[in-house]
């Protein structure tokens, strides 16, 4: 096979992928970007859509809230996933390993929507949790667990768990057990070994997991609106409102671009802070 | 336990389920000595070392380090350090940070002092100027030295070495072998070295313990191990040997000196264990201990040269014995000295050896196939 046929077949193989990305990702985003600088009425170039967002205290608050909330949920997910991944890869025997893996993967066999509905069945005023508490005599009236920030956090952590656990498992899998033994042998204890050996080794996995989970949280709509109700105050919700309820594509586009830009910048900063290379992390 | 003993094992047994990995082992490692534990893979030597290091807990028996019973002391509190088989250097740190890791854990020392000691330890293993390198930026031999320095900097009572030379190529292994021995002599640290490589064990050690199936076969200085093996296993595992099987003890010339009939030929040997007349024995003869005289001579066994393999410093000559009832041959190693016999294939030769160059042990039952999973 000569070089030109080789190159041609390479392009042929890449075509579906390129079409997919080009038509369904790049093109719509270009259009989004374009629309965000166009005024709704006159159709001329304007910054008004962006100014509108940043001049509104409510939108600024929502923006900040979404960002901070996503970061917190990501941290919380990491806190739960890391020990879990460690147990699955390094501690558990074959049976326990399978069971834990299934427990992590199983929820993803149903859609996020169904997951959220399940949480609603558990948490609503006449729901399972409320009923249980009354049966145990802890309280004597119905309690509404839905529409709190905690409920949103629980739902988000739950939907994120897999995306954090799997990459960390991957990186912990390659950790040579004798490194941990060596650290102990040289006088290390649990914390110093975790800090100096295990976490640095798992850093790429932690980074990949955190980026994925952060993006998923930032862009989450279903879980947030179903568990948080109308007042969940999430950025995706106001984008939805602009597009679907107010038919304002231009403002919606501007808000989307803000969301996108923010997540890209945030990931970039995170990579810089942890001195990781994106190519290395992936 | 006497203060001159750095490591002591008393009736140590380790079971993994039904498998007995280490079976009632007792041994003493004198202070400042180079002690090797030699055994084939699966003999339990790694388990033994890991018990000394603290990574495995003995099922029964006691372990002493520096006179203290350490059974209940976790590995990070034991006065011994280990050089791992795959070295287990920390790839996320540079050379210097690897070496100071233990000092940092210990604390109570300024950063400058730690670095001074680390550089000192690196200098001791002949490694300078690479402090800032990452582990994957230095060669295998250099990594070896870093692993040694990382343990030695803590000035352990005992340094445990889990066959760290195994991964090196032959040339490097030879030179590291000597260096390790010199280093041990210089620092005076007690070394416990486990290996399946007898050339390493024999060359470096003051004392060698041979272990097989979790049991100690013999503990002796290398030369004694080589010349006076205590068991059938040691005789066949250590060094090269001619193994002549299924001989019969004919008579005793004295307590040790025994006459054995092998395929109709009378041979003299040393009784390696308690034997009696008519016992079935195997006779082990070192190839380099056999004297070859050209032609048919007195007081010897007549043979014919059937093969000559030149091997640089010596030749391995295969001599088939002419007077045996069954075809039988002996390997003979001839040094290429001035008065070495000039042999050709087909030559008649007479073989002889000092009686104690041959060791007789009771024949082992044919190794039965164990029901292993």
B99 contacts in chain A (CB < 8 Å): none
A198 contacts in chain B (CB < 8 Å): none
> Is B88 within 8 Å of A196 when comparing Cβ atoms?
no
Of A260, A228, A223, A253, whose CA–CA distance to A239 is shortest?
A253
CA distance A181 to A186: 9
Nearest-Cα distance to chain B for A54, in Å, is: 43
Domain limits, chain B? 5-232, 240-362
**Rounded average pLDDT over A255-265:** 93
| pLDDT value for B3 | 60
pLDDT at A130 over 90: no
A200 contacts in chain B (CB < 8 Å): 92
- Number of CB atoms found within 10 A of residue A235's CB: 26
> Is A196 within 8 Å of B93 when comparing Cβ atoms?
yes
A188 contacts in chain B (CB < 8 Å): 76, 101, 105
**Rounded average pLDDT over A25-48:** 91
| pLDDT value for B369 | 42
> Is A186 within 8 Å of B105 when comparing Cβ atoms?
yes
- A 133-172 near B (Cβ less than 8 A): none
Fold observed for domain A49-281: MetI-like fold (1.10.3720)
B67-B73-B74 Cα angle (round to 5):
140
A79-A80-A85 Cα angle (round to 5):
105
> Is A182 within 8 Å of B82 when comparing Cβ atoms?
yes
Beta bridge partners of B16: B19
Q: Which residue from B minimizes the CA distance to A193?
A: B105
For A128-137, A254-263, B113-122, which range has the lowest pLDDT when averaged over its residues?
Answer: A128-137
Token representation of residue A156: 């988000």
Q: Which residue from A minimizes the CA distance to B82?
A: A185
Token representation of residue A167: 């990459």
| pLDDT value for B179 | 86
Question: A with B: how many residue pairs have Cβ under 8 Å apart?
Answer: 60
> Is A189 within 8 Å of B105 when comparing Cβ atoms?
yes
Length of chain A: 282
**Rounded average pLDDT over A195-199:** 94
Q: Which residue from B minimizes the CA distance to A196?
A: B92
**Rounded average pLDDT over A25-34:** 94
A175–chain B Cβ distance below 8 A for any pair: no
Q: Which residue from A minimizes the CA distance to B155?
A: A186
Of A103, A127, A105, whose CA–CA distance to A117 is shortest?
A127
| pLDDT value for A1 | 61
- Helix A128-135 vs helix A112-123: crossing angle, to nearest 10: 30
- Helix B140-152 vs helix B170-187: crossing angle, to nearest 10: 20
| pLDDT value for B365 | 63
Residue B186, Cβ density class (10 Å: 0-12 exposed, 13-18 middle, ≥19 buried): exposed
Superfamily of domain B5-232 in the CATH hierarchy: P-loop containing nucleotide triphosphate hydrolases (3.40.50.300)
B151 contacts in chain A (CB < 8 Å): 186
Q: Which residue of A176, A183, A196 is in closest CB contact with B86?
A: A176
Helix H or strand E segment including A204: helix A199-218
Contacting A with CB below 8 Å, chain B residues are 53-55, 74-77, 81-82, 84-86, 88-93, 101-102, 105-106, 150-151, 154
Q: What is the pTM of this model?
A: 0.81
Nearest-Cα distance to chain A for B218, in Å, is: 29
**pLDDT tens string A91-102:** 988 999 999 999
CA distance A66 to A69: 5
Mean pLDDT per block of 10 residues along chain B (373 residues) reads 81 94 94 94 92 95 93 93 93 94 92 94 89 92 92 93 84 85 90 91 93 95 94 92 91 90 92 91 93 86 92 90 91 86 89 92 64 37
Longest Cα–Cα distance in chain A: 80
Beta bridge partners of B271: B360
C-beta separation of A207 from A270 below 8 A: yes
A182 contacts in chain B (CB < 8 Å): 82, 84, 88-90
C-alpha R_g of chain A: 23
ipTM computed for the complex: 0.82
Q: Does domain B240-362 have CATH number 2.40.50.140?
A: yes
B106 contacts in chain A (CB < 8 Å): 187
> Is B90 within 8 Å of A197 when comparing Cβ atoms?
yes
pLDDT at A209 over 90: yes
A179 contacts in chain B (CB < 8 Å): 88, 90
CA distance B295 to A195: 75
Q: Which residue of B82, B90, B154 is in closest CB contact with A179?
A: B90
> Is A189 within 8 Å of B75 when comparing Cβ atoms?
no
A197–chain B Cβ distance below 8 A for any pair: yes
Nearest-Cα distance to chain B for A198, in Å, is: 10
- Number of CB atoms found within 10 A of residue A156's CB: 25
Length of chain B: 373
A199–chain B Cβ distance below 8 A for any pair: no
């Amino acid at each position: 096979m000569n070089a030109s046929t080789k190159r041609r077949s390479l392009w042929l193989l890449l075509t579906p992928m390129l079409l997919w990305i080009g038509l369904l990702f790049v093109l719509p985003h270009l259009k989004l970007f374009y629309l965000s600088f166009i005024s709704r009425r006159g159709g001329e170039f304007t910054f008004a859509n962006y100014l509108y967002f940043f001049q509104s205290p409510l939108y600024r608050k929502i923006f900040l809230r979404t960002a901070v909330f996503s970061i917190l949920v990501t941290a919380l997910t990491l806190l739960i996933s890391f020990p879990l991944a460690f147990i699955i890869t390094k501690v558990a025997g074959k049976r326990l390993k399978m069971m834990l893996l299934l427990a992590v993967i199983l929820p993803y066999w149903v859609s996020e929507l169904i997951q959220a509905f399940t949480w609603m069945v558990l948490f609503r005023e006449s729901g399972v949790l409320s009923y249980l508490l009354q049966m145990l005599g802890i309280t004597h009236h119905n309690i509404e667990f839905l529409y709190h920030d905690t409920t949103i956090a629980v739902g988000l952590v739950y939907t994120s768990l897999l995306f954090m656990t799997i990459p960390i498992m991957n990186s912990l899998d390659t950790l040579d057990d004798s490194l941990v033994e060596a650290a102990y042998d040289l006088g290390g204890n649990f914390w110093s070994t975790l800090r100096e050996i295990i976490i640095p080794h798992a850093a790429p996995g932690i980074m990949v997991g955190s980026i994925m989970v952060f993006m998923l949280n930032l862009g989450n709509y279903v879980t947030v609106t179903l568990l948080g109700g109308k007042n969940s105050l999430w950025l995706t919700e106001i984008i939805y409102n602009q597009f679907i309820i107010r038919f304002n594509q231009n403002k919606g586009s501007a808000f989307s671009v803000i969301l996108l830009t923010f997540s890209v910048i945030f990931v970039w900063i995170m990579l810089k802070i942890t001195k990781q290379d994106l190519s290395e992390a992936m | 336990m006497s203060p001159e003993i750095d490591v002591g094992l008393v009736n140590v047994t380790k079971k993994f389920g039904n498998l007995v990995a280490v079976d009632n082992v007792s041994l003493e490692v004198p202070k400042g000595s180079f002690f090797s534990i030699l055994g084939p893979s699966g003999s339990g030597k790694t388990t033994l070392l890991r018990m000394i290091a603290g990574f495995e807990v003995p099922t029964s028996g006691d372990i002493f380090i520096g006179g203290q019973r350490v059974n209940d002391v976790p590995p990070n509190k034991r006065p011994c350090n280990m050089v791992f088989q795959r070295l287990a250097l920390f790839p996320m740190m540079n050379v210097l940070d690897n070496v100071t890791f233990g000092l940092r854990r210990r604390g109570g020392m300024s950063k400058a002092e730690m670095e001074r000691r680390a550089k000192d330890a690196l200098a001791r293993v002949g490694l300078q100027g690479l402090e800032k390198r990452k582990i994957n930026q230095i060669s295998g031999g250099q990594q070896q030295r870093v692993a040694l320095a990382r343990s030695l900097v803590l000035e352990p009572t005992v340094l445990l070495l889990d066959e760290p030379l195994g991964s090196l190529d032959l040339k490097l292994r030879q030179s590291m072998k000597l260096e390790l021995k010199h280093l041990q002599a210089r620092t005076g640290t007690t070394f416990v070295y486990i290996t399946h490589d007898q050339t390493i064990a024999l060359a470096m050690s003051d004392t060698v313990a041979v272990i097989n199936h979790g049991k100690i076969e013999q503990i002796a200085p290398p030369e004694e191990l080589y010349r006076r093996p205590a068991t059938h296993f040691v005789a066949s595992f250590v060094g090269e040997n001619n193994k002549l099987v299924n001989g019969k003890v004919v008579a005793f010339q004295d307590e040790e000196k025994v006459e054995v009939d092998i395929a109709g030929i009378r041979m003299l040997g040393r009784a390696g264990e308690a034997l009696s007349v008519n016992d079935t024995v195997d006779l082990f003869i070192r190839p380099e201990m056999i004297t070859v005289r050209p032609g048919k001579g007195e007081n010897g066994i007549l043979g014919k040269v059937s093969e000559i393999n030149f091997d640089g410093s010596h030749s391995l000559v295969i001599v088939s014995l002419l007077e045996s009832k069954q075809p039988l041959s002996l390997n003979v190693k001839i040094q290429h000295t001035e008065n070495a016999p000039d042999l050709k294939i087909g030559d008649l030769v007479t073989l002889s050896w000092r009686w104690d160059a041959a060791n007789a042990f009771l024949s082992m039952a044919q190794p039965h196939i164990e029901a292993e999973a």
